[in-house]
Structure 1
Amino acid sequence: MPTTNSRARVATLCAAALTFSGLLVTGVLAAQPAAAADPAGYQNVRINEVTSSNNDTVELYNSGPSAVSISGWKMSDDSFSAQSFSPSSTTIQAGGFVTFNSPKGLGDSDKVVLYTSGGTVVDRVDWATDKAKPSMARCGGDGTGAWVTATATATFGAANAPGCPSSVPAAGKVRINEVTSDGSDTVELYNGGTSAVSVGSWKYVDGDTSHSAASVSSSSPSATSIPAGGYVTFNSTIGLGDNDSAFLLDGSGNTVDSVTWATGAAKPSDERCVNGTGWFQTATTATLGSANSCSGGGGSTGGTTGGTTGGTGGGQPGQLLGGGGSLTSGCTPEAPSGTGSTPSGTLAWPGGQDVTIADDVCAFTTSTGPEGRDVSGLAFDPANPSVLWAAKNKNWLYKLVKSNGKWVPDASWSATGKQIRFSGGSGEPDSEGVTVGGNGHIYVTSERDNTKNTAPKDTILEFDPAATGSTLTPVHQWDMTSQFPQLNTGSKDDANLGFEGVGYVPDSWLTAGGWVDPLTHAAYNPANYPLHGSGLYFAGLEWDGSLHVYGLNSDGTFTTFGTIATGKSSVMDVTFDAGTQRIIASCDNTCGETHTFMKVDAGGAIVPDVTYTNPAVMPIDNLEGFAIAPTSTCVDNTREAVWSDDGIYGFGSKTSSSGHAIYSGTFPC
């Protein structure tokens, strides 16, 4: 599992400056630049619930990955200037709540505007008569859902679900989907619901609190109704600045959605990725009136992050589709770290541009990893392509099968995964890579023993998948730790940069390609190594991106065949694909989310052939696992490709992809 420090260490090997895809940057009042005092992560704080009775209480929620200081923050309503308030805590923990009573009374029809101590608008909610009794609450996800009048008692200081109605009204499915501040100042609305929504009486306003709300229909006379799955665009008549916000109000004056952006972020546009539900990011090309291309970068620019749970509906081109029930609960996403540049000469993903979320939310929580992340290595079973093996860092192995389009644990093997141990039944392997050997056994790499995580333990462990019981011990274990003294510094971060992936490569491919054995300097002859089985194992080293080749002998010894350069600064997974006849060395955001296909060249050396990026709709995260299904599964000249997110971060906390570990796409046959 990567840590922030270890990722930073690896990323220094990349030539380009680092970007920070895990931090979200938002804008401020149009008439007032942001103050330097604005705390990191302030844009992730959202008004989550408010009442105009019961002491006029306001609840704030932190949807971001880190705690945020709200010391000195202020609020206003529709009749008084910004006032200081006394929160229940001056710090909001990640995923936490803070409440306060309004310093002046809130009316039956009113609003709350939240500011940082420097005057930056953070969030705003408006409500009509009696809509805040018992409370106005975000439903469909704390910090992200549609604003709806609670049907039960208020839930201040806790999740809103108990006080939310059973279904969100149709108007709550409308989202600000794209916005520009390039002179035309255009706003696009998207209806993610199943029925048309009338917006002729709706209004909008920007982040300048001196502005009055303007009607959508006056800005665009044709913008009167949005069909299910459709779009409406209008040009703002009140102007949108470089540092600004857009707040959408329904015909009664209730807040529907909002977005805030920073300087330059809405040029050419700021768009939700994925379309209709995801975080906002700066686009390369505006796509007003149609599905967002998500061809930009730079991460989110803040704002409310979608309000409906589940999938986004029919597959638009280049769209990441939700898997249902996707708001995070019971596990803690880990923001990506160590983002580096994409190697020069990298080509676009050759498969389909649509990718789906392919697991249940928080599906991999365990007794040694209750945060529900850390799914690293992936490998299809060549003998049974309907089986996908997955290694979880904190010493767990999963046998996954497809059910209703998702990869779920095979209950006949273990519905909760099986814990793995080192030889003798002790320790907790930091299991990273997984592959299926020629004998049908499962081979797992470990960087260290998690019970002694400052010391490396670079090993390959062989497990018999037919073994019974909830805990597996290895049939054989090969320890290569002494080959990597640079990892044995007493630092847990250095110890965490060892064997990250492993791939079984059949002898038949090595001999057919004319691979030159580095030990004999002649054509590889498997008969020279009678105990090694039917292939070699290529282990990827996170430290420097090299592949280390081993013959794993049945007597517990091993043969080292040397090192192969991948051209990458790091390697997170290794697989052999019989369809392309290539070894694939994959790297996550450390190398720009890329996959290098390796071949045997005319001189008998294994060298990089071509490198591909991920599909553009994929998040820029610590995607450590990658596998391509065998060609026997091909339909219409495509087969499945899968990725695993070590941090289950997706596009950010509370987005449709947050809390999910596995993504599914397609690759050519």
Structure 2
Amino acid sequence: MAQEQSAVRINEVESSGGTPGDWVELVNTGSTPADISKWIVKDNDNSHSYQVPSGTSLAAGAHLVLDVETSFGLGSADSARLFQADGSTLVDSYSWTAHAATTYGRCADGTGAFTTTTAPTRGAANACGSSDGGGGTPSVTPWPGDAAVTVADGSDVFGENLSGLSFEGPGVLWAVDNGPSKLYRLVPNGATWQPDPANGWASGKSLHYGSGSGDPDTEGVTATPDGIFASTERDNSNSGVSKPGIVRFDTSSTAGTLNATAEWNLTSDLPAVAANSGPEAISWIPDTYLTAHGFSDEHTGAAYNPAAYPGHGSGLFFVGLEANGTVYAYALDQTGGGYTRVATFSSGFPGVMDLEFEPETGHLWAVCDDTCEGRTTTLDIDAQGRFTATAVHDRPAGMPNYNNEGFAIAPQAACTDGHKTVVWSDDSNDDGHALRAGTLPCTTVSAATSATRTTQTTQTTQTTQTN
């Protein structure tokens, strides 16, 4: 037990303007779970005390945020001190003389010295703004594709609020509108994309919760072999209340309105955030890829084993929170609406607007909008089985700093002359257009990702043929 406890460290401190207030983040740098029941956090005043709830265990590699604001506030010149349950055995501490512009965090994550982070990463690896492989955010590099971008839709086809994008094969692009909630099935129209004129898709389809009521604020979308899933921040019918979740839709219907066929309410698992700052992004990664690359399950403290999550389908869902830029990985029970969080990590940005898995490279792309100059990060599974930032890219030189909230990469089957299409969606419909296209180099498919892509293409093609 002493060995487990000695691996627990203070990892990040928010002393000013946090959500929902001041907080102290712990991390377990050890290889086994640590029992931290009734441990105590104090600032530089011994009379200020926050106690960890009884029965709290911190899995190996996991982060835990303690909202000390419920007991005391952290000052501009203060300390965060972590004690065992006796209140006198000091485990770790950090002191500062002024509030950080962001937060104070260890770089490298869990083991390094404290420094000012580039962005708060509540409950995830720290954003350290370095390229030293220490768990921080790498230096910014140019967009790896062509500098030019082109308009990819007709004039004022979608208007404002077009958000997430996801390819389903080379000839189908899904898009969601976050208000009023609508799902579009897009097909090629020369060099642009248009709503599918067949099967009731010509104007998109209105979305509701499973009850047939409500207006889910659909921000992200992902096409999977198990169906079309969207991430939601709130019910637009009650727009002042946060309602983070995931919804699934059956797109084989010819009706003009779709009711969710399954819902997962994530409110109890995610940090409390403003109503319009919840799950902005969603992507899906197949189990075959995750297991082949040694993905670590923070819930079990071992290598990810799909068999541990019966009924979860054939992959995990990765949800990006707009409020803090953190990505949360979930196994969704697709038979009963339950879920388990499997991993938590930083996107490298203070907010994340879309996520896109690229099987050919194994990159999980994270996208930030005009608040981050339209940049993207790529995250890859490291030697410890965790997604970490490996590159940060500027937007293409030909792309103005639009409010891009959607990002989708065409599959390898769409590769032409060594390039494949990338599509962005602009929530603000700048200059009367919501879609713009660019390119990325095609990448030779490795044996591991080839099997993944073949499975995805076969399954999604079967789904497409039913629409």
Fold conserved between structures, TM > 0.5: yes
Are 1:556 and 2:337 matched, yes or no? yes
Alpha-carbon distance in 1 for matches of 2:354, 2:206: 21
Residue 438 of structure 1 corresponds to: 225
Structure 1 contact 432–501 (Cα < 8 Å) conserved: yes
User: Residue 626 of structure 1 is aligned with which of 407, 410, 413?
Assistant: 407
Structure 1 contact 638–667 (Cα < 8 Å) conserved: yes
CA 1:537–1:344: 2 relative to 1, 3 Å: closer
CA 1:495–1:349: 2 relative to 1, 3 Å: same
CA 1:526–1:611: 2 relative to 1, 3 Å: same
Structure 2 contact 148–399 (Cα < 8 Å) conserved: no
3-state SS of paired residue (1:570): coil
Alpha-carbon distance in 2 for matches of 1:621, 1:357: 13
3-state SS of paired residue (1:434): strand
Are 1:515 and 2:288 matched, yes or no? no
Structure 1 residues 464-492: Cα deviation after superposition (integer angstroms, max 9, x where no partner): 110230010111100002233522xxxxx
List alignment gaps of at least 5 residues for structure 2.
Answer: 1-16, 20-128, 130-136, 443-467
Are 1:425 and 2:212 matched, yes or no? yes
Q: TM-score, normalised by structure 2?
A: 0.64
Residue 142 of structure 2 corresponds to: 348
3-state SS of paired residue (2:140): coil
3-state SS of paired residue (1:423): coil
Aligned-residue offset at 1:9: 10
User: Residue 397 of structure 2 is aligned with which of 616, 624, 627?
Assistant: 616
Aligned-residue offset at 1:437: 1.7
Residue 528 of structure 1 corresponds to: 308
Are 1:359 and 2:153 matched, yes or no? yes
User: Residue 258 of structure 2 is aligned with which of 452, 472, 477?
Assistant: 472
Structure 1 residues 183-205: Cα deviation after superposition (integer angstroms, max 9, x where no partner): xxxxxxxxxxxxxxxxxxxxxxx
User: Residue 277 of structure 2 is aligned with which of 493, 497, 502?
Assistant: 497
Structure 1 residues 556-614: Cα deviation after superposition (integer angstroms, max 9, x where no partner): 21111132112211100011111211111111111121111111101111111111111
Alpha-carbon distance in 2 for matches of 1:660, 1:610: 29
List alignment gaps of at least 5 residues for structure 1.
Answer: 1-7, 11-340, 365-371, 488-493, 650-657
Question: 1:160-559 to 2 correspondence within 5 Å?
Answer: 345-364=139-158, 372-381=159-168, 384-394=169-179, 395-413=181-199, 414-439=201-226, 441-487=227-273, 494-554=274-334, 555-559=336-340
Alpha-carbon distance in 1 for matches of 2:18, 2:411: 35
The amino acid of 1:426's aligned partner reads: S
CA 1:615–1:540: 2 relative to 1, 3 Å: same
Alpha-carbon distance in 1 for matches of 2:395, 2:220: 19
The amino acid of 1:648's aligned partner reads: N
The runs of at least 4 consecutive aligned structure 1 residues that moved more than 4 Å come to none
Structure 2 contact 138–390 (Cα < 8 Å) conserved: no
Residue 607 of structure 1 corresponds to: 388
Question: 1:564-583 to 2 correspondence within 5 Å?
Answer: 564-583=345-364
Are 1:662 and 2:447 matched, yes or no? no
Aligned-residue offset at 1:438: 2.4
Aligned-residue offset at 1:344: 6.4
Alpha-carbon distance in 1 for matches of 2:376, 2:256: 34
3-state SS of paired residue (1:353): coil
The amino acid of 1:345's aligned partner reads: S
Which protein has the bigger strand share? 2
Residue 170 of structure 1 corresponds to: none
Alpha-carbon distance in 2 for matches of 1:519, 1:632: 36
Structure 1 residues 163-211: Cα deviation after superposition (integer angstroms, max 9, x where no partner): xxxxxxxxxxxxxxxxxxxxxxxxxxxxxxxxxxxxxxxxxxxxxxxxx
The amino acid of 1:445's aligned partner reads: S
CA 1:450–1:9: 2 relative to 1, 3 Å: farther
CA 1:509–1:357: 2 relative to 1, 3 Å: same
Alpha-carbon distance in 2 for matches of 1:521, 1:484: 20
CA 1:634–1:485: 2 relative to 1, 3 Å: closer
3-state SS of paired residue (2:319): strand
Question: 1:54-133 to 2 correspondence within 5 Å?
Answer: none
Bigger Rg, structure 1 or 2: 1
Alpha-carbon distance in 1 for matches of 2:286, 2:175: 21
Alpha-carbon distance in 2 for matches of 1:468, 1:357: 29
Structure 1 residues 69-124: Cα deviation after superposition (integer angstroms, max 9, x where no partner): xxxxxxxxxxxxxxxxxxxxxxxxxxxxxxxxxxxxxxxxxxxxxxxxxxxxxxxx
Alpha-carbon distance in 1 for matches of 2:316, 2:270: 20
Aligned-residue offset at 1:534: 0.5
CA 1:517–1:577: 2 relative to 1, 3 Å: same
The amino acid of 1:667's aligned partner reads: L
The amino acid of 2:391's aligned partner reads: V
Structure 1 contact 438–535 (Cα < 8 Å) conserved: no
Aligned-residue offset at 1:631: 0.7
Alpha-carbon distance in 2 for matches of 1:443, 1:392: 13
3-state SS of paired residue (2:272): helix
Structure 2 contact 218–230 (Cα < 8 Å) conserved: yes
Structure 1 contact 379–436 (Cα < 8 Å) conserved: yes
Alpha-carbon distance in 1 for matches of 2:206, 2:296: 39
The amino acid of 1:475's aligned partner reads: T
Structure 1 contact 600–607 (Cα < 8 Å) conserved: yes
Residue 89 of structure 1 corresponds to: none
Structure 1 contact 438–506 (Cα < 8 Å) conserved: no
The amino acid of 2:432's aligned partner reads: G
Q: State the superposition RMSD in angstroms.
A: 1.9
Alpha-carbon distance in 2 for matches of 1:478, 1:486: 17
CA 1:599–1:391: 2 relative to 1, 3 Å: same
Q: TM-score, normalised by structure 1?
A: 0.45
CA 1:648–1:474: 2 relative to 1, 3 Å: same
